[in-house]
């Protein structure tokens, strides 16, 4: 479907200039496929973010101890465990997706996420079943990590393969739009539950309600995904033996390394804003949880609207230039968090919302940029592997590190860390592009 390009090789597709060509190729089947992929992404991120947002309530229910900060850190550690298993999801399910097709693996990932979310919702607390509560929680997070390790990278790759060539900006915008819908719904549902039930009920049982909602939504998405179009041809699957797939991945090792840092820097920034700062506000600075959830909901609205706008602006244009500019902007933007060093909901709001614009620029583009670095026949494995490692090492630990550094009065270390990751992502992306070329867009 897509030709391999380098900076000096095949000419880039011409920008799309009229409305008729902009709609070309988006058949009803393609649009329905994008809807199923997008809603699945929304579900994955909803379920994933709900756990992080409610960690201050989940911790005391599943782990012994009376100190709120320690219980929150325990829950965030379990949150990070899920990230640790994302590379395994990329290796196992990514290879499977290149071997048996995208559609079947997309169905499997949703089944895993919906099922484990329901189990978390109904698992008794530590006070009822003792250590088994924590064990069940960890097992569910491991399975969710495996599921999410393939969902985000493969759904974007699948969407890129479905869409007409030259529409990568649109795909980036629409897939990021659904991701941010999931994040917004996680914040909104958490806020409404906290507002209606109150902090005491949320701590006892109310935190389970958002998980039940996520599980029900998952079974709806599973139904919608039954008709996903397959983008790999039978002959492509036949030649994609595991040995051939991994031989191709090893040949493109520099591209995989670039994806690790492209994803890792964006996700470290993302989880600092969506999970780390809200967790620090609630458990470290004792901010009112309803006010915190209200502000994270506003952040979600900004991300939803912003991803749509960025996708429209980038549609038909050079994704590589957009990526480099937005990644450079992330370097100073992450230092805004240093303004929130003492209790005060106003300071929290200023930092959270002030850094949101640059955050949405980075989160809209990074998955399509990652897909562009790997050829189609090994894209499921290569992108998922790089994505899984990047998120596991840098994204999954971000919220824990931010809260931990803050507890030690060393908050300044975290923005320096993310800035270095952003610089490395630029360096490795340019190196991979020049060495292996790009395989989607220009």
Q: What are the two backbone dihedrals, phi and then psi, of residue 5, each rounded to the nearest 5 degrees?
A: -130, 150
* Lowest mean pLDDT, pick from 20-34, 112-126, 345-359, 376-390: 20-34
Residue among 153, 70, 119, 148 at smallest CA distance from 396: 148
> How far, in Å, CA of 325 to CA of 226, rounded?
38
Question: CA geometry: angle at 305 spanning 303 and 310, to 5°?
Answer: 85
* Separate counts of helices (H) and strands (E) for the chain: 21, 0
Share of the chain above pLDDT 70, in %: 90
Mean pLDDT of the chain: 84
- Statement: residue 5 has pLDDT above 60: no
pLDDT in tens, 178-189: 988 888 888 789
pLDDT exceeds 80 at position 351: yes
Smallest Cα–Cα separation from 377: which of 170, 263, 235? 235
Report yes or no: 442 and 373 within 8 Å, Cβ to Cβ: no
Residue pLDDT, tens place only, 385-402: 998 889 888 987 887 788
> Residue 22: its pLDDT value, please?
56
First and final CA of the chain: distance in angstroms? 14
**CB 398, CB 276: distance < 8 Å:** yes
Which residue bears the tokens 């079974």?
A: 219
- What's the pLDDT score for residue 264? 94
Q: Which of 169, 187, 192, 150 lies closest to 41, judged by CA?
A: 150
Please state the pTM of the whole predicted model.
Answer: 0.78
With a pLDDT cut of 90, the percent of the chain lying above it is 26
According to the model, what pLDDT value does residue 17 have?
A: 38
**What 3-state DSSP class applies to 438?**
strand
Beta-carbon contacts of 335 under 8 Å, excluding residues fewer than 6 positions away, are 415, 419
Residue with more model confidence, 373 or 133:
373
pLDDT tens-digit series, residues 28-61: 888 888 888 999 889 888 987 788 778 778 877 8
For 29, 208, 332, the CA distances from 215, given in Å and listed in that order, are 26, 11, 38
- pLDDT tens for each residue of 334-346: 999 888 878 889 9
Do the beta carbons of residue 269 and residue 330 sit within 8 Å?
yes
pLDDT in the model for residue 336:
92
Tell me the β-bridge partners of 5: 438
pLDDT digits (tens, 9 = 90+) for 188-228: 898 899 888 888 888 888 989 999 999 998 888 888 888 88
What pLDDT does 6 receive? 37
Residue 263 Ramachandran class (φ > 0 left, ψ -120 to 50 alpha, else beta):
alpha
Dihedral, CA atoms, 379, 256, 364, 178, nearest 10 degrees? 40
Q: Which pLDDT band, with edges at 50, 70 and 90, does 319 fall under?
A: confident
Closest CA to 440 of 175, 239, 242: 175
Q: Is the separation of the CB atoms in 83 and 391 below 8 Å?
A: yes
Secondary structure (3-state) at 5: strand
Confidence bin at 25 (pLDDT 50/70/90): low
What are the tokens at 196?
């209606």
Beta strands in 288-408 (DSSP E): none
Taking the C-alpha atoms of residue 422 and residue 9, their distance in angstroms, rounded to an integer, is 28
Q: What is the spatial distance between Cα 123 and Cα 115, in angstroms, rounded to a whole number?
A: 12
Give the tens place of pLDDT for each residue, 84-100: 788 888 888 888 888 88
In the chain, % helix, strand, coil (3-state, to 5) comes to 80, 0, 20
Q: Examine the pLDDT at 3 and tell me if it is beyond 70.
A: no
- Quote the pLDDT of residue 65: 64
Predicted local distance difference test score (pLDDT) of residue 250:
93
Buried b (16+ CB within 10 A) or exposed e, 264-299: bbbbbbbbbbbbbbbbbbbbbbebebbbbbbbbbbb
Neighbouring residues of 55: CB distance < 8 A, sequence distance ≥ 6:
72, 75, 76, 79, 275, 279
Radius of gyration of the chain (CA): 21
Token pair of 116, please? 């484990």
Q: Which parts of 101-167 fold into alpha helices (H)? A: 102-122, 126-129, 131-162
**How many CB atoms sit inside 10 A of residue 325's CB?**
11
118 has a pLDDT exceeding 90: yes
How would you classify residue 386: left for phi > 0, otherwise alpha for psi between -120 and 50, otherwise beta?
alpha
C-alpha–C-alpha distance, residues 175 and 308, integer Å: 9
């Amino acid at each position: 479907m897509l030709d391999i390009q380098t900076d000096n090789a095949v000419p880039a597709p011409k920008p799309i200039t009229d409305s008729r060509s902009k709609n070309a190729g988006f058949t009803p089947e393609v649009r329905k496929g994008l809807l199923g992929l997008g809603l699945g992404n929304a579900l994955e991120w909803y379920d994933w973010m709900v756990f992080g947002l409610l960690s201050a309530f989940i911790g005391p229910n599943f782990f012994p101890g009376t100190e709120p900060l320690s219980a929150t850190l325990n829950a965030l550690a379990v949150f990070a465990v899920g990230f640790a298993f994302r590379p395994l999801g990329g290796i196992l399910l990514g290879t499977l997706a290149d071997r048996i097709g995208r559609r079947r693996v997309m169905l499997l990932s949703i089944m895993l996420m919906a099922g484990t979310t329901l189990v978390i919702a109904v698992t008794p607390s530590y006070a009822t079943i003792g250590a088994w509560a924590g064990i069940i929680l960890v097992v569910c997070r491991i399975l969710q990590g495996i599921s999410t390790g393939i969902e985000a990278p493969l759904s974007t790759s699948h969407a890129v393969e479905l869409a007409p060539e030259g529409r990568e900006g649109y795909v980036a915008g629409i897939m990021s739009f659904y991701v941010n819908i999931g994040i917004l719904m996680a914040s909104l549902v958490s806020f409404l539950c906290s507002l209606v039930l109150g902090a005491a009920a949320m701590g006892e049982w109310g935190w389970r309600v958002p998980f039940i909602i996520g599980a029900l939504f998952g079974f709806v998405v599973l139904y919608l995904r039954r008709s996903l179009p397959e983008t790999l041809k039978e002959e492509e699957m036949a030649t994609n033996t595991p040995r051939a797939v991994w031989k191709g991945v090893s040949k493109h090792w520099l591209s995989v390394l670039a994806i690790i840092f492209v994803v890792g820097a964006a996700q470290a920034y993302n989880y600092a804003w969506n999970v780390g700062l809200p967790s620090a506000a609630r458990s470290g600075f004792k901010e009112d949880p309803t006010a915190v959830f209200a502000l994270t909901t506003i952040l979600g609205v900004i991300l939803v609207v912003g991803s749509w706008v960025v996708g429209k602006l980038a549609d038909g244009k050079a994704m590589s230039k957009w990526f480099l500019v937005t990644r450079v902007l992330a370097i100073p933007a992450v230092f805004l968090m240093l303004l929130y060093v003492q209790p005060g909901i106003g300071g929290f709001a200023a930092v959270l919302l002030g850094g949101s614009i640059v955050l949405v620029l980075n989160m809209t583009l990074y998955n399509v940029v990652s897909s562009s670095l790997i050829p189609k026949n090994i894209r499921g494995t290569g992108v998922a592997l790089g994505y899984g490692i990047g998120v596991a090492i840098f994204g999954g630990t971000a919220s824990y590190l931010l809260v931990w550094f803050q507890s030690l009065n060393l908050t300044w270390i975290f923005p320096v860390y993310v800035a270095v990751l952003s610089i490395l992502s630029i360096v490795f992306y340019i190196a991979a592009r020049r060495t292996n070329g790009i395989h989607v867009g220009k």
